[in-house]
Structure 1
Amino acid sequence: GALRVLVVDDNLDAAHTLNLFLGAAGHEVEIAYSATDALEVAKVFSPQVCLLDIGLPDMDGNELARRLRRLPQTTASTLVAATGYGRQQDRDAARQAGFDHYMVKPVNTVELSDLLAGIAARAEQA
């Protein structure tokens, strides 16, 4: 099942690599390079999955996650942190901010594929 996936990362290479990977898997992908842009894209795109970097220039990914949870278009979206921060306190902060999953960069594409397949299967049952 194809999903609408929003990739948010200020690292252009990381964002484009994820875009190519997700697109090749059949998903519809939008990219935002800042949290502010991500919020605007989310309102129009209504992503089912948001892959968010934590270290964004304008607001951190945890704050972005909190704001996405308040938007009607993304209240039920699956939020996935894709970050270079791997400490337990970073994971705890992400969980408190509303993330459903946490992945340390470089993202394991097998793990990501499995996660997306599970989300797509649940979406088809709904």
Structure 2
Amino acid sequence: MTVDLLETKGCVVRGCEDGATGLATILAQPPTLALIDIGLPVLDGYQVASRIRAAGRKEVFLVAMTGYGQPDDQQRARDAGFDLHLTKPVTMALLQTAISASQRPRAAGSTPSRSTRSS
């Protein structure tokens, strides 16, 4: 569903079936924005984000997508290196928020601090 929504907005979308494949894809061809589900098999979303950041890929805007929206979940996403935390169900309005946020210039060394949930 998310892929379909993004494609209707003209986004180029690459989907991956697990965290390890997603990590390899992002490192090989870094996108502007990566929507990463926390509950991925093989490597979870937190591991994927941490490894992307450890590889020095600070330019990729990382968005956590999860059903977990408690403050501890949001903090864990920030600690892993996510720039934005979206709580499912993710609407087109939330996806547009993520796209817009990924296009804004970021200060060097800035830390992620945003969390958005569907209402």
TM above 0.5, yes or no, is yes
Gapped regions of structure 1 (runs ≥ 5): 1-16
Q: What is the 5 A alignment of 1:10-89?
A: 17-72=1-56, 74-89=57-72
Runs (4+) of structure 1 exceeding 2 A deviation are 117-123
The TM-score normalised by the length of structure 1 is 0.75
Looking at structure 2, the residues matched to 58 and 70 of structure 1 have their Cα atoms a distance apart, in angstroms, of 18
Match of residue 110 from structure 2 = none
Q: Select which of 89, 93, 98 maps to 1:115.
A: 98
Residue 122 of structure 1, CA deviation: 4.4
Q: Give deviations 1:33-90, integer Å, cap 9, x for gaps.
A: 1111011211333111111111112122111100111335x33111100001111111
Aligned-partner SS, 2:98: helix
What is the one-letter code of the residue matched to 2:48?
L
Looking at structure 2, the residues matched to 118 and 39 of structure 1 have their Cα atoms a distance apart, in angstroms, of 21
Change in 2 beyond 3 A, CA 1:24/1:122: farther
Aligned-partner SS, 2:24: helix
What is the one-letter code of the residue matched to 2:17?
Y
**1 or 2, which has the higher helix percentage?**
1
Looking at structure 2, the residues matched to 120 and 96 of structure 1 have their Cα atoms a distance apart, in angstroms, of 22
Aligned-partner SS, 1:103: strand
Percent identity among equivalent residues? 32
Checking the alignment, whether the CA contact within 8 Å between 1:39 and 1:68 is kept in structure 2 is yes
Matched, 1:90 2:73: yes
Aligned length: 106
Checking the alignment, whether the CA contact within 8 Å between 2:63 and 2:98 is kept in structure 1 is no
The TM-score normalised by the length of structure 2 is 0.79
Looking at structure 2, the residues matched to 87 and 18 of structure 1 have their Cα atoms a distance apart, in angstroms, of 22
Q: CA RMSD in A?
A: 1.8
